[in-house]
């Protein structure tokens, strides 16, 4: 097949009319010509998401692919950490099998931190031996984000054995060190870790970039760091990649890595530097079998209408046209879905929070919109033997319930930032162990929302506390749906809208923000099924503050 268009050559850093001849999945020849029709558009390498948890789209890889190719994505660097925390190696195998049903090129990593910490209950454990076994698979391209940075800094034997295994196999090691700078950051990356996607301030990104670290600029559904970090594209053009990390289905409908490209160009970033961050750098860093529009490469490329909008008009992978004019050309496929959900229904009494004395100062988790970091505030709640939430002051209850045991006791705390006026919302997507996390205005509503998730064997739910409860089932490991991706996006958007209009939530992505409140590796206060956790001191703290 031959295509003629204006070629955006990211290697020579020039644009020229060209014909691309390809067959059997490979590019046979590229020839510069004198001119092409004005409406021929432009051809360039496809986009690569340099770090994403496919599970957070609530879709299995095959369905994620159907949606992503529409936006010009031809490959992802995917950490199956979420499903591994639920199902261990079985979960990783599910992702590999399902991904094999579609042409999009998934590079999966070996999850390095399952469980992420010892401060929560997970469904599985991947020790150094299991991680090395995964790394030996050809489908596993790297060691996923090393979240246990204290383990790296203190030379924990298990942590260092995983790093050693990746080094021995010549596979990259991803970083995860939010807020780490200076000498401790230098020590962390000196262990052989080469990237970081957790920078949320320019100063942090600058510090790590100066160490030679590859900086992944993240713009997902919860963590949105582009505005803080985009100047690094200009200052360290050879060290930048783009990623989404976590992308909910309604956001995936709107766009993917193409959105970051458009925004960087709008900021005045050099087009070639921007496109190399989106297309070339992930391929080179992770040794991906993705074509970069050179003779002999796999025929992976995209067509755009113009260089202003960067609207993707067609996507090819291995010479197969997989999307055109906003429509996917990939067929749906299903892989048998695993799950692990043992929690049993709870009662209102399970979510009552005993009060020791009135006006006791409480540690309040502070949620920030668009961030996965949280803060710590101080607050009080009225009580009648049990604390009562105070929606007017936006101090609500938060609970995390172990999904892997039948009758575990819910952990209880308080949170600010959701602004619910009534009801509750709950989710079994709760990073990283994926227990059930819920926020609500009273114990009855919490029970209703949590029970809706339990009945569905996983999902997200919301209730107004007065008889109306909505649930979106996620039967694949309690994380992903078997629905058509666009239908799931509509259903999710409807539930998201209901939470905002009926329950009063003011967060941009309520369920994404909710899912990160149980993650005890991101500062500051988080809630696990074992209690309130202070990430900065890496230990549990009491919800009630000592009067002394």
DSSP letters spanning 198-262 = ---SHHHHHHHHHTTPEEEEEB-SS-B-HHHHTHHHHHSGGGEEEE-BS--HHHHHH-SHHHHHH
Confidence check: pLDDT of 411 > 90: yes
What pLDDT digit, counting tens, does each position of 188-223 carry?
A: 999 999 999 999 899 999 999 999 999 999 998 777
Q: What is the dihedral of CA 497, 498, 501, 505, to 10 degrees?
A: -80
Residue with tokens 């209950």: 121
Nearest to 514 by CA among 343, 374, 351: 374
Exposed / middle / buried, residue 216 (Cβ in 10 Å: 0-12, 13-18, 19+): buried
What pLDDT digit, counting tens, does each position of 145-192 carry?
A: 998 888 999 999 999 999 999 999 999 999 999 889 999 999 999 999
CA distance 422 to 403: 25
CA distance 74 to 322: 9
* In this structure, CATH architecture of domain 47-290: Alpha-Beta Barrel (3.20)
Percent of the chain with pLDDT over 70: 99
Domain ranges of the chain: 47-290, 348-540
pLDDT (mean) for 432-457: 97
Please report the pLDDT score of residue 391 as a whole number: 97
Please report the pLDDT score of residue 387 as a whole number: 95
Mean pLDDT, all residues of the chain: 95
The secondary element (H helix, E strand) that includes residue 439 is: strand 436-440
What pLDDT digit, counting tens, does each position of 255-266 carry?
A: 999 999 999 999
Please report the pLDDT score of residue 154 as a whole number: 94
| Confidence label for 442 from pLDDT (cuts 50, 70 and 90) | very high
pLDDT (mean) for 290-310: 94
Please report the pLDDT score of residue 415 as a whole number: 98
Residue with tokens 């008009």: 313
Strand 396-401 to strand 436-440: parallel, antiparallel, or no bridges (unpaired)? antiparallel
Confidence check: pLDDT of 547 > 70: no
| Confidence label for 41 from pLDDT (cuts 50, 70 and 90) | very high
Confidence check: pLDDT of 548 > 60: no
Phi, then psi, of 479 in degrees rounded to 5? -125, -30
What pLDDT digit, counting tens, does each position of 264-278 carry?
A: 999 999 999 999 999
Please report the pLDDT score of residue 39 as a whole number: 87
pTM, two decimal places = 0.92
Phi, then psi, of 31 in degrees rounded to 5? -130, 130
Please report the pLDDT score of residue 360 as a whole number: 84
DSSP letters spanning 287-335 = T-----SSTTSB--EEEES-TTT--EEEEEETTEEEEETTEE-PPP---
Check residue 169 and report its DSSP letter: T
Does 118 sit behind a cis peptide bond, omega within 30 degrees of 0 on the bond before it?
Answer: no
Residues 6+ apart with CB under 8 A from 80: 53, 54, 55, 91, 92, 95, 108, 109, 111, 144
Show the tokens assigned to 396: 């609500």
Residues 6+ apart with CB under 8 A from 349: 443
Strand 459-463 to strand 436-440: parallel, antiparallel, or no bridges (unpaired)? unpaired
- Whether the CA torsion 281, 198, 315, 233 is positive or negative: it is negative
Other CB atoms within a 10 A radius of the CB of residue 542 amount to: 11
């Amino acid at each position: 097949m031959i295509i003629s268009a204006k070629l955006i050559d990211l290697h020579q850093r020039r644009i020229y009319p060209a014909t691309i001849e390809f067959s059997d999945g490979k590019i046979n020849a590229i020839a510069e010509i004198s001119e092409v029709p004005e409406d021929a558009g432009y051809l360039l390498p496809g986009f690569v998401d340099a770090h994403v948890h496919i599970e957070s789209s609530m879709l299995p890889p095959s369905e994620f692919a159907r949606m992503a190719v529409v936006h010009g994505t031809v490959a992802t660097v995917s950490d199956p950490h979420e499903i591994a925390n639920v199902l261990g190696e079985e979960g990783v195998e599910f992702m590999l099998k399902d991904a094999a049903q579609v042409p999009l090129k998934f590079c999966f990593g070996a999850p390095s931190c399952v469980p992420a910490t010892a401060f929560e209950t997970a469904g599985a454990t991947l020790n150094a031996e299991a991680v090395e076994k995964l790394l030996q698979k050809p489908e596993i391209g790297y060691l996923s984000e090393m979240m246990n940075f204290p383990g790296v800094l203190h030379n924990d034997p298990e942590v260092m054995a995983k790093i050693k295994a990746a080094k021995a196999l010549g596979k990259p090691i991803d970083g995860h060190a939010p807020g780490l700078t200076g000498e401790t950051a230098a020590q962390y990356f000196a262990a052989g870790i080469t990237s970081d996607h957790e920078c949320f301030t320019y100063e942090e990104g600058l510090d790590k970039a100066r160490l030679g670290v590859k900086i992944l600029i993240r713009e997902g559904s919860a963590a949105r760091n582009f505005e803080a970090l985009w100047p690094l594209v200009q200052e360290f053009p050879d060290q930048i990649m783009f990623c989404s990390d976590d992308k909910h289905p309604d956001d995936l409908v709107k766009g993917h890595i193409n959105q970051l490209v458009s925004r960087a160009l709008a900021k005045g970033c050099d087009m070639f530097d921007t496109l190399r961050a989106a297309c070339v750098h992930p391929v080179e860093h992770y040794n991906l079998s993705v074509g970069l529009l050179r003779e002999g490469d796999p025929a992976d490329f995209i067509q755009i209408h113009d260089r202003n909008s960067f609207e993707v008009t067609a996507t090819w992978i291995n010479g197969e046209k997989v999307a055109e004019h906003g429509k996917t050309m990939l067929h749906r496929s299903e892989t048998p879905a695993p799950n692990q959900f043992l929690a049993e229904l709870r009662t209102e009494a399970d979510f009552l929070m005993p009060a020791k004395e009135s006006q006791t100062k409480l540690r309040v988790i502070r949620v920030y919109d668009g961030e996965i970091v949280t803060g710590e505030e101080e607050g009080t709640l009225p009580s009648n033997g049990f604390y009562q939430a105070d929606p007017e002051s936006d101090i609500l209850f938060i609970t995390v319930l172990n999904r892997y045991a039948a009758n575990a006791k819910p952990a209880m705390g308080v949170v600010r930032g959701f602004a619910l006026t009534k009801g509750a919302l709950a989710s079994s997507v709760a990073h990283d162990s994926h227990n059930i996390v819920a926020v609500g205005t009273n114990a009855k509503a919490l029970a209703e929302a949590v029970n809706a998730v339990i009945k569905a064997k996983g999902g997200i739910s919301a209730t107004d506390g007065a008889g109306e409860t909505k649930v979106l089932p996620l039967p694949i490991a309690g994380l992903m749906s078997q629905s058509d991706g666009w239908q799931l996006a509509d259903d999710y958007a409807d539930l998201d809208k209901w939470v905002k209009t009926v329950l009063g939530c003011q967060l941009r992505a309520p369920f994404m923000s909710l899912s990160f409140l149980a993650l005890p590796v991101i500062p500051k206060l988080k809630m696990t099924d074992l209690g309130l956790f202070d990430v900065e001191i890496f230990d549990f703290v009491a919800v009630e503050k000592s009067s002394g």
